[in-house]
């Protein structure tokens, strides 16, 4: 006995699973960049230089935030269309 799947919820579940993969990748890569920064600046210079990993962390973090909002936000396109339709009906009267 097959149950019909709610397509909106299925797409939402796929987005959330993809976000979790994105988050893990972000953590590993950014963590690796900070390790490289820490190892290279202490061995070569004896002191910390400009923290360059902050830039990829910030830039990629914006994309990660956008992905989070897409996966976990309360945006429902069907509901948005219905709200706009109701507004248009009220304006027409």
Could you state, in order of their start, the residue ranges of all structural domains in the chain?
7-92
Q: What average pLDDT score do residues 80-89 get?
A: 83
Cα separation, 60 vs 13, whole angstroms: 22
* pLDDT tens string 63-73: 999 999 989 98
41, 82 contact by CB (below 8 A): no
pLDDT (0 to 100) of residue 43: 55
Give the predicted TM-score (pTM) of the model.
0.71
Cα-trace Rg, the chain:
22
For residue 54, pLDDT over 70 is answered with yes
Q: What average pLDDT score do residues 43-53 get?
A: 71
pLDDT (0 to 100) of residue 89: 83
pLDDT (0 to 100) of residue 31: 98
64, 26 contact by CB (below 8 A): yes
């Amino acid at each position: 006995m097959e149950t019909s799947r709610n397509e909106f919820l299925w797409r939402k579940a796929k987005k959330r699973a993809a976000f979790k993969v994105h988050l893990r990748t972000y953590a590993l890569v950014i963590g690796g960049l900070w390790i490289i920064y820490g190892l290279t600046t202490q061995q070569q210079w004896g002191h910390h230089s400009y923290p360059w990993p902050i830039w990829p962390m910030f830039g990629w973090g914006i994309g990660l935030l956008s992905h989070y909002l897409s996966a976990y936000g309360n945006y429902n396109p069907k509901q948005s269309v219905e709200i706009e339709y109701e507004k248009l009906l009220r304006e027409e009267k």
